[in-house]
Amino acid sequence: MRLLRLLTLLALAAAALTAFASRAQPVIGLSLDTLKEERWQRDRDLFTAEAERLGASVIVQSANSDDTRQVRDIESLITRGVDVLVVVPHNGAAMTRAMRSAKEAGIPVISYDRLILNADVELYLTFDNVKVGELQAQWVLDRWPADQPLRIVRLYGAPTDNNAKLFKQGQDNVLQPLIKSGRVTVVAEDWALDWKPENAKKIMNAAITKHGHAFDAVIVSNDGTAGGAIQSLLEEGLAGKILVTGQDADLAACQRIMRGTQSMTVFKPVAKLASLTARTAVALARGEKVAGTTTLDNGYKQVPCLFEEIVSVDKSNLMDTVVAAGFHPAEKLQ
């Protein structure tokens, strides 16, 4: 009897020690959709650096744009005993099974940059994605004479990414009244599967084949796909003559802005988001409460959210924003 009590006490002490150790040195699982785009490599590096600075360790998985693989990645992170999960979903609506497993294991989940839908997510840390779309459309309108009709091609992102819908929603907020009044005409529009530049190029090629050169601007939702569209414009001798938007301030996009083949991008200070998320993940692992400043409905609950600021960037303010923030060194932009 006494032995049994001793054993129980020992087991409790061991569990308390493990919990203490895991709070002092939490393990965070970071599950990414992809590492193919420049921005996600930067997110990963900054997130890991900040988490490690705070005494945590990070296990990173990248799903290569494959939902089945991402669910497997998350389940393996759960099995490896992570204290918190940080997830950038390839498809926010396809994570249900993985989220159920996390819940059963009592592991809190932070939705990073993209919202996980229909699941019990602890927090959503992102940028104001609707505003990204508004800045893109507004930039084009501000550069076009108010008394001139404007013909646009609209190139959206991955239909599986909730953010892609929010970017479109923001663009719609600005464009719809003008489309209704007849000042803006949408010549062609399509979604680039998995945000792939080659898919964007195909869409642009198809628009040119069908409509010739009869458009003034291409509203593209990110820099990777802008790169694909611009490739097609280059082949037609149109690059630099047509306004093209983007997002992410990728190095290649900033170089195109300097050369004049891309008109603008939206700078999202990833360093701030990544370190805020790392701090939040560590706090959650240590059992602290974390609050949002607003909420978003993900179909399951009102998820507490935090938004980082964004800024519209073109040739006129590239140095004062992207370069001044240390995002790219000036000499790489020459």
Nearest CA to 225 among 169, 167, 168, 157? Answer: 157
Q: Which of 248, 257, 263, 264 touches ligand BGC (CB under 6 A)?
A: 248
Of 50-58, 155-163, 173-181, 203-211, which segment contacts ligand BGC by CB under 6 A?
A: 155-163
The piece of 73-81, 146-154, 157-165, 236-244 that touches ligand BGC (CB under 6 A) is 157-165
User: With respect to ligand BGC, which residue has the nearer C-beta, 69 or 286?
Assistant: 69
Question: Is 161 among the residues that bind ligand BGC (CB under 6 A)?
Answer: yes
Which of 32, 39, 228, 244 binds ligand BGC (CB under 6 A)? It is 39
Residue 280 binds to ligand BGC (criterion: CB under 6 A): no
Q: Does 195 bind ligand BGC (CB under 6 A)?
A: yes
Q: Which is nearer to ligand BGC, 47 or 78 (CB)?
A: 47
Residue list 68-107, contact with ligand BGC (CB under 6 A):
none
Cα–Cα distance measured from residue 334 to residue 300, given in angstroms and rounded to the nearest whole number: 48
CB of 148 to ligand BGC, least distance (A): 30
Q: Nearest to residue 29, comparing CAs of 278, 237, 275, 213?
A: 278
- Closest contact distance (angstroms) between CB of 127 and ligand BGC is 7
Say whether residue 113 binds ligand BGC (CB under 6 A): yes
Q: How far is the CB of 162 from ligand BGC (least distance, A)?
A: 8
Nearer to ligand BGC, 57 or 294 (CB): 294
Q: Residue 303's beta-bridge partner residues?
A: 296
Judged by CB under 6 A, which stretch of 91-99, 156-164, 182-190, 294-302 contacts ligand BGC?
A: 156-164
- Residue 114 beta carbon to ligand BGC: minimum distance, rounded to whole angstroms: 5
Work out how close the CB of 144 gets to ligand BGC at its nearest, in angstroms, rounded to a whole number. 25
SS3 string, the chain, reads CHHHHHHHHHHHHHHHHHHHHHHHCCEEEEEECCCCCHHHHHHHHHHHHHHHHCCCEEEEEECCCCHHHHHHHHHHHHHCCCCEEEECCCCCCCCHHHHHHHHHCCCCEEEECCCCCCCCCCEEEEECHHHHHHHHHHHHHHCCCCCCCEEEEEEECCCCCHHHHHHHHHHHHHHHHHHHHCCEEEEEEEECHHHCHHHHHHHHHHHHHHHCCCCCEEEECCHHHHHHHHHHHHHCCCCCCCEECCCCCCHHHHHHHHHCCCCEEEECCHHHHHHHHHHHHHHHHCCCCCCCCEEEECCCCEEEEEEECCEEEECCCHHHHHHCCCCCCHHHHC
Of the candidate residues 28, 37, 74, 136, the single one contacting ligand BGC (CB under 6 A)? 37
Distance between CA 237 and CA 204 in Å, rounded? 13
CB-wise, 37 or 83, nearer to ligand BGC?
37
Q: Which is nearer to ligand BGC, 26 or 157 (CB)?
A: 157
Least spacing, CB of residue 27 vs ligand BGC, in Å: 26
Complex with ligand BGC: residue 54 or 249, whichever CB lies closer: 249
Enumerate binding residues for ligand BGC (CB under 6 A).
37, 39, 113-114, 157, 161, 163, 195, 222, 247-248
